[in-house]
Structure 1
Amino acid sequence: MLGPVVTWHEGREHTIASGRQRCVLALLVLEAGRVVSLDRLVDALWEAGSAPRTARNVVQQCVSELRKLVAVDPGARLVLKAPGYALEVDPQRVDLHRFRSLVAAARAEDPAVGRAAGLRRALALWRGEPLAGADAPGLVPARQALAEERLAVLEECLTAEVESGRHAEAVPELTALVAEHPLRERPAELLMLALYRGGRASEALEHYHHTRQRLAEQLGTDPGPALRELHQRVLTADPALTLPTRDTPPPAATPRQLPAPPAPFTGRRDELDRLDTALHASNQGATVTISALAGAGGIGKTWLALHWAHRHTDRFPDGQMFVDLRGFSPTGDPTDPAVAVRGFLDALGVEPAASPPTSTPKPRSTAAWSRASGCSSCWTTPPPATRSSPCYPAHQPAPSWSPAAASWPR
């Protein structure tokens, strides 16, 4: 929904050739889990008074074709429910509903830096103009509302970034946003504040002058109270506008440690579905979910774990981590738990001094695992639990290991 209207199955994008089918699917997805009446579908597809006598049959045919498309996915059903149809699907599998869920979670974060990071994760789901390719008259208001929703979240994100001291990084994006929406005052206010905090007070005042002139010429009005107040505070060099200086470490690079995905890869549908189910269950709460793939050596556990992990990289925007524990390697000793954990902490930007002074750096750092909450990690061929248990965070017990590939989807 947050771009061209398409479906995804087993990691592949499926384009819907029929424009009317795209429109019907978009209407059903927007109301996922709720009934959309047949009359409403007809009204949405045609301008008022222009629907042909066969309109209801056309919609029914579209639904029939969409049923075939949806039927390949056991996690979704398009059902007949009077007086229309309903698409039954986990909302977290729809980018729009996942976006709203991530925004709600980000708004609960504190301080501003965490809120900004969460909102960025949500905004990363957008792929272009919402509902692109679904050009029914009845979808125009929904498209406009979604575009406004994204813009409001972007403004909220940029506000949090400026509040958290990232005003210099925000200036280029704010400049582009002001150019795209010249009559919208909130981006203009944020850009003025970001410039001032970056030591560019004269540019901030010039920006205010241009904004006031543009509003007067195009709308015959003055800037609103918030923008006028900020202008006055910049003129008087209000000390409260300056953030307190503090030493902040540079943000850690996002870890991308997964080896190349196996190709070709076929089968294992049941196992892939079970891993998907574990991921969806994990998304519903705060519990860390660990999935272990057990079996004899050489049957493809690592390939299965890597194939699944690559299919879901979008669900782990904070990065993906990988380690071969060599628990049953004929050519070398198992990986020392301290080495494995240190590699993860290095990938997350945790300095060695921040680890507890023990023989094995148990990953207790709240900052490290807060950052890792959007990461996936993949461990292959772990050794027995007596050696691998130190790799777990203090709050998470180790499972009983068999030769396995493990995926940590949280």
Structure 2
Amino acid sequence: MSGVLLRHRGPAGPDPGRPRFVLYGPLRLLVDGAPVQLGPPKQQALLAALLLRLDLTTGPDQLIDALWGAQPPAYAKNLVQKYVSGLRGVLAAAAPDPSGDGPRLLFEGGGYRLDTDKDLIDLYAYERLAATGTALASNGSPEEAAQHLDSARILVTGPLAEGLDAPVLERERVYRDERFLADMELRAELELDLGRHRNAIPYLYFMLHKHPLSERLSWLLMLALFRADRGAEALAVYDEYRRRVVAELGTDPGRALRTLHHRILAQDPELTSLRAVPAPRTPLPPGE
């Protein structure tokens, strides 16, 4: 993967002495950097569900649906109470904080709420960094945007709550995977617009391997290869993508990819300056 895409590590994280939750990859609670035992898998899934609904109260029936879906066990409410009790013990042992600033699992308004700081959860740190990067890209600050998206990217160490089985987690993984793909497409677009197409190529190959039907990634990789004087490889990427979508979907590539293919065949010189990220919109003067 590109050295440029890996080089930025962003600002320092929160105080390492405070308990931190990691949702990307295996679910973890870290205290002084060391993982804490979280109990059985369904208890961990309950913790993940509460982390996804931070600041919100979740009733027992909602938690049962989140953990088991349409076919819960007959004693599901007892299990939820058991797991809540277990999690409270885990949190109390992991962060005995007389000031009350440690994470707490509260019962209020007929439901459960996990009380902790969003800055101590990697998922919300990702959202903040990615949203800021997207806004900077829209405002014409590509270098800063790329740095924020890089800082977001390195937080994603695997699927959300990897290895845990619960309907709520399966749904959330689909959303998070699509969100990450969109953010990383923007990251590659910025790399091209910054003139670092050679650095973007290995990253795009990596992403396309993970998302072989992504037409946008194929488009970006073809453009990067053309700009790096590797036009034959760009055409090969198109041919491979076309074979794949014909075989798997029974259709041809979309218009944007076909147009880029024709322009590469024609050695269109304007491709060297084609913007991947749309130019920032200039506000109209008042009254227009």
CA contact (8 A) 1:78 1:86 kept: yes
Give the total of aligned pairs: 243
Q: Distance in 2 between matches of 1:218 and 1:129?
A: 25
CA RMSD of aligned residues (A): 1.7
Which residue in the other structure is 2:169 paired with?
Answer: 139
Q: Distance in 1 between matches of 2:91 and 2:250?
A: 52
* Aligned positions of 1:16-95 closer than 5 A: 16-49=38-71, 51-71=72-92, 72=95, 74-95=101-122
What is the CA-CA distance between 1:214 and the residue it aligns to? 1.6
SS of the residue aligned with 1:210? helix
Q: Distance in 2 between matches of 1:159 and 1:34?
A: 36
Q: Distance in 2 between matches of 1:148 and 1:229?
A: 25
Amino acid at match of 1:8: L
Equivalent residue in structure 2 for 1:167, among 188, 197, 202: 197
Equivalent residue in structure 2 for 1:234, among 251, 257, 264: 264
* Aligned positions of 1:265-304 closer than 5 A: none
SS of the residue aligned with 1:108? helix
Q: Is residue 98 of structure 1 aligned with residue 125 of structure 2?
A: yes
Which residue in the other structure is 2:151 paired with?
Answer: 121
CA contact (8 A) 1:22 1:133 kept: no
Amino acid at match of 2:29: T
| TM-score, scaled to structure 2 | 0.79
Amino acid at match of 2:36: H
Instruction: Detail structure 1 runs of 4+ shifted over 4 Å in the superposition.
Output: none
Q: Which has the higher contact order (CA 8 A, sep 6+)?
A: 2
Q: Distance in 2 between matches of 1:182 and 1:121?
A: 25
SS of the residue aligned with 1:87? strand
Provide structure 1 residue ranges, at least 5 long, that are not aligned to the other structure.
Answer: 245-410
Which residue in the other structure is 2:238 paired with?
Answer: 208
Q: In 2 relative to 1, CA 236–147 (structure 1 residues): closer, same or farther, beyond 3 Å?
A: same
| TM-score, scaled to structure 1 | 0.57
Which residue in the other structure is 1:292 paired with?
Answer: none
What is the CA-CA distance between 1:148 and the residue it aligns to? 1.9
Q: Which is richer in helix?
A: 2
CA contact (8 A) 1:119 1:157 kept: yes
Q: Distance in 2 between matches of 1:176 and 1:185?
A: 14
Which residue in the other structure is 1:294 paired with?
Answer: none
What is the CA-CA distance between 1:225 and the residue it aligns to? 1.8
**1:47-68 deviation digits (Å, cap 9, x = unpaired):** 423x223210110111111112
Which residue in the other structure is 2:35 paired with?
Answer: 13
Provide structure 2 residue ranges, at least 5 long, that are not aligned to the other structure.
Answer: 1-22, 275-288
SS of the residue aligned with 1:78? strand
CA contact (8 A) 1:106 1:115 kept: yes
What is the CA-CA distance between 1:184 and the residue it aligns to? 1.4
CA contact (8 A) 1:26 1:134 kept: no
Q: Distance in 2 between matches of 1:212 and 1:199?
A: 22
**1:344-398 deviation digits (Å, cap 9, x = unpaired):** xxxxxxxxxxxxxxxxxxxxxxxxxxxxxxxxxxxxxxxxxxxxxxxxxxxxxxx
**1:190-220 deviation digits (Å, cap 9, x = unpaired):** 1101100101112111211221122112111
Q: Which is richer in strand?
A: 1
SS of the residue aligned with 1:15? coil
CA contact (8 A) 2:37 2:90 kept: no
What is the CA-CA distance between 1:27 and the residue it aligns to? 0.4
What is the CA-CA distance between 1:180 and the residue it aligns to? 2.4
Q: In 2 relative to 1, CA 232–113 (structure 1 residues): closer, same or farther, beyond 3 Å?
A: farther
**1:230-269 deviation digits (Å, cap 9, x = unpaired):** 112222322221149xxxxxxxxxxxxxxxxxxxxxxxxx
Equivalent residue in structure 2 for 1:107, among 134, 146, 153: 134
Amino acid at match of 2:63: L
Question: How many percent identity over aligned positions?
Answer: 40
